[in-house]
Structure formats: C-alpha cells, structure tokens
Structure 1
C-alpha cells in the first residue's frame, strides 16, 4: 500500500491517496473519491479511513478529500480542535470572513480532485472510466453536487477544466443532505430544529447571506438531468438531523430523468453511522448491510 498527498484549490483542501498496486505495469483499477461529512464545518474522521478500508479491500484506489472547512483550516495551522470547540469558533466567525467552505468552493475542490486523478491515471493506476464519488451527510451534498453540475459551463469556468475531466462515473450517497431549505422546514414542523445550529451550519455553506440563485444551485434535486451519473443512496428513517425525504426526493428526480438508481432506507439508526461497524464506534448490524449491497450494485454497474 502506498500513501500520497496533494493540495487542491485556493484554500486549505488536501487529498490523501491510499493506493494498492500502482504504476503502469499493473492493471488499472477503479477509484473512488471520499467526501466525509461534518456540516461543512469539519471533515469527519469516522467517514474517511473506515470507508477507505472497505474500498481498498475490493480493489479500488481511494482518494480522501478533506475539503476546506474551519476544521481543516485549524489542522493546517498545526492545531487540533474537538467538535464542540469548532462549534464555538464557528459561532464567532465574522460575517465577511471567507472560510473556503462556502458553496461552490468545496465543489470546485472536488472537481479539481477528479481532474487531477484523470490527468495522472498512470501514476495512480486508475481506470479513467471507473472513477466515482462517495459522500456522507454534508459530504453527500458535495458528492451529489458534482453529480448534477459536472457538465455546467459555470463550473468549467471556475475550475478551468473541461467537463469530461471532472465527471463522476457513479455516486454513492449516505444520509445526504440534498435540500437545505426542505430540511429546515421539516425540522421546524417537527419542533426539533436547533435555530442556533441551523444558522451556524447555513453560514458554513452559504456565507453570511444566502442568495436565491445560490440556494437553487445547492438544491440538488433541481438540477438532475439525464447526464447525472447512476446513484446508490442509503438513509435511515430515524435520522433526526438529515431527514430521509432528502433521499426520497432525489431518487424521484433521478427516476423522472431515467437515471439508474438504487435506494435503501433502514428504519432504525441515527445520523452519522458511516459503515455502522465497530471501527466507527457506531454499531448497527442491520445498517451494515449497505456496504455489501453497494459493492454488488457497483459490480453490476461496471
């Protein structure tokens, strides 16, 4: 196994490549870019390496994107911060300060990561037609954003890359937040929303002011087309942070455009389960089944 790192974008995003066999003498492998969650405030460790290990075991080359957040900024300054401290720091951010987590910057970083992999397929021993994305929670929003926007002229202009270089061949989304406004409305209707947290999370994603155009672009179901890559989606009904309707609406949008999709909803299980195995500290034997189901789907897809 070989580990390499490289920077992407203009802020503090870093990619960790975890490779099996590499070099031109080996058969090219499929690859996946992992986008962990963390409310665009930090990058969850539970949704990074534990996911990477499963893909490595199946013969994939793996790239973990630690996109720009307050958390990655703190780490690059040589400091560490627990989640509660990051919440405290986030609540004190000046309105005009640019964090790098604001949409569409993480999307630019993900697109540049995809382009870098395709531009260096021989170094990484990757099959350029079998590169996908997997994301969880906010990382699911990031992965799905590339899925619907990869062929847009505005993204090409922002990245300086032709669309064909950044297209994901598949997308895997775990408990993704795909419609921020919908999620807010549901939370308010059920009386479970934390206004302070929701305001702070919105600041991480949209900056101090949310414009209608940006909110529309960040609402994934609005931009599904017949060019959106096939999707594997899973969610839990008991998730009280990101509601399952995010996944249901997205599957419906994919169906209406004729895009292949597979959706698994598990009744029990809270938010942030990752692989739901011992390595994550959140064990749920039933939900664990999403992992082999996903690999079966990927085998049939490719």
Structure 2
C-alpha cells in the first residue's frame, strides 16, 4: 500500500488501493456459516451494512455470537476467531468450545463470524475483526464487561487475524459519527493458537494466504498482512501456542512473533510442544501419544490469572 497500512486498514474505511473486487466476485454467493451452538445472542457488527459489503445475504453480514459469563460483572471478555483458511470457519472446535471454557472461568466470550473467500478478500475479514473489538469495547457497560480487559483468541487463519490486530490497531476516530468507531481496536491481550504470524520467505509455509490476498499479491500487500513486520511497543501482550508436528503452519511462526514482541518489550509467553498436528483446538480429544498437549489450556488459564483476566475467585 502507498500509505501506512496501520492507519488505512483499521480505520474501517473502504480500500484505497490494492485488492479490488471483480464483477464476478460481486455476483457470487457469500459463504454462509452455521452458527455455533449455545450462543445467547447474534449481534450484527454493522447494522447499516459492513464496509466493502457485496450483498446482504448471511455470509455478507459479519456477526458476533455472544456467550455471557455467569454471575455479576463486569467480566473480562474474549473475542474468539475461528480458523478455516479464510475460506470457511471452524465454529465449534475453534469457537464455541473455547467460549464455554471461558464462561466456566468467569470470562464472557464472543465468537466472530467474519467474511470469507471467494467473495471477500483483504481487507474485509480484518475489518470485521477490528470492528468486533471496537463493538465490545464501545458496548462494555451494556454487555457487562470491562472495557480495558478485552482480548482476542484466534486459531490458524483466525490466529493470523488475532496476531494482526495485536500488532496493527488504532485509537479510534474521535470525529466519527458512530460511537463504535470512536473507540480503540487494540486488544488488551491476544491468545494465538497455531497462528500464521509471519510472511517471511525464511519460514517454511504451506501456501501464501491466497484466500485472503489472492493468487498474485504485490509485495506491499504481503507485507501489509504480516503481523511480525508491524510489532511495536504498543502491541498486545500475547500467549502463543504451537506444535512441532504442525505441517500447515510451521511453529517458526510462533517463535518469530515471540521474538518480535520480546524485542519490543511486550509481555509474551510461548509454548511450542514437540508433537501435535495442525488444528489441535483445546487438545482434549487427541490420540494417547499426544496427551502432553492436554496441559496447554491449563497453561493458558494460569497466564490469564497471572494477568488478572481470570479472577482468583474462579
């Protein structure tokens, strides 16, 4: 991009340069996703229509599915971003399961349905992620959550989105007519599970995020979506989980992002397990030889307690 992506993309405006939709994309049907189970409310992120929308069908309308924490608030909140390669969404294993896990620990959760390939490409899905953070923060009082304890938790492609938001965000637009757009899109913390966090040619990769940036992206666009290139001291404190046996997202993604955060002075915790394939979720239903992975949710819980996002009373 010709101007700084940090300002351009997360301002929530339409694209100025880079990817543009073809007539064929505008005519194709958006990918619709079955909602996760057990949610309390479906929240449309842009009631007046999302930026870059190419229709009004279900897959054209990004939503949050809410899982309020029980008991008196305000609670910490986490926006869960399912994986699926930016072409589908794993709403149960990488969405509802985590939302219920968070609820059991006194944390409200919101599972994000973001827009998908082939009808939607960069930056539409990333705008949806930023809007989700803004929405929960702007409505914190109504939702019974803490405006300064709003995290993101992403898996695979959703982990890329979470890492992107951890690195690239803005303070909101003071002059915006809509209250949601006047608040920050910065997550207070990020949980990154087997996430694509670098586009460096030095890190082995399975594909080049074509379902987000298309088959022939410019180097400028590749750099624009690379979380590791945008880390500053303002990046979100992060918990990073990966496995050595992941053949889809090399665990070097985790170590590259860890190093970038560490160099910037951002609090970060990293766990890379020796074994385990891509897509382990919460690692509770794996083969016996992978039972070591069952501990990782406990490590995450301890990290959240240590930082005050799960209270000691839970």
Q: Fold match, TM over 0.5?
A: yes
Q: Which of residues 125, 133, 142 in structure 2 aligns to 1:123?
A: 142
Task: Verify the 8 A CA contact 1:240 1:271 in the aligned structure 2.
Answer: yes
| In the alignment, structure 1 residue 4 sits paired with structure 2 residue 41 | yes
Task: Verify the 8 A CA contact 1:118 1:128 in the aligned structure 2.
Answer: yes
The equivalent residue for 1:34 is: 80
CA offset at residue 282 of structure 1? 6.7
Separation (CA, whole Å) in 2 of partners of 1:296 and 1:182: 34
The equivalent residue for 1:76 is: none
Separation (CA, whole Å) in 2 of partners of 1:216 and 1:161: 25
Secondary structure at 2:142's aligned position in 1? helix
Q: Following superposition of structure 1 onto structure 2, how do residues 48-127 of structure 1 map, counting pairs within 5 Å?
A: 48-70=95-117, 99-100=119-120, 102-127=121-146
CA offset at residue 2 of structure 1? 6.6
What whole-Å deviation, never above 9, does each CA across 1:198-225 have from its counterpart, x for those lacking one?
3xx7331103431222111111111000
Secondary structure at 2:272's aligned position in 1? strand
CA offset at residue 18 of structure 1? 1.0
Give the superposed CA RMSD.
2.5
Task: Verify the 8 A CA contact 1:28 1:127 in the aligned structure 2.
Answer: yes
The equivalent residue for 1:13 is: 62
| In the alignment, structure 1 residue 247 sits paired with structure 2 residue 254 | yes
| In the alignment, structure 1 residue 292 sits paired with structure 2 residue 298 | yes
The equivalent residue for 2:161 is: 142
- Per the normalisation by structure 2, the TM-score is 0.74
Q: Following superposition of structure 1 onto structure 2, how do residues 104-253 of structure 1 map, counting pairs within 5 Å?
A: 104-151=123-170, 161-162=181-182, 164-182=183-201, 186-187=204-205, 198=207, 202-253=209-260
CA offset at residue 181 of structure 1? 4.7
Task: Verify the 8 A CA contact 2:172 2:185 in the aligned structure 1.
Answer: no
Segments of 5+ residues of structure 1 without an aligned counterpart are 71-92, 94-98, 188-192
Separation (CA, whole Å) in 2 of partners of 1:177 and 1:285: 24
Separation (CA, whole Å) in 2 of partners of 1:239 and 1:152: 35
Separation (CA, whole Å) in 1 of partners of 2:281 and 2:141: 31
How many residues are aligned here? 254
- Per the normalisation by structure 1, the TM-score is 0.77
Change (3 A) 1:282 1:56: farther
Change (3 A) 1:262 1:218: same
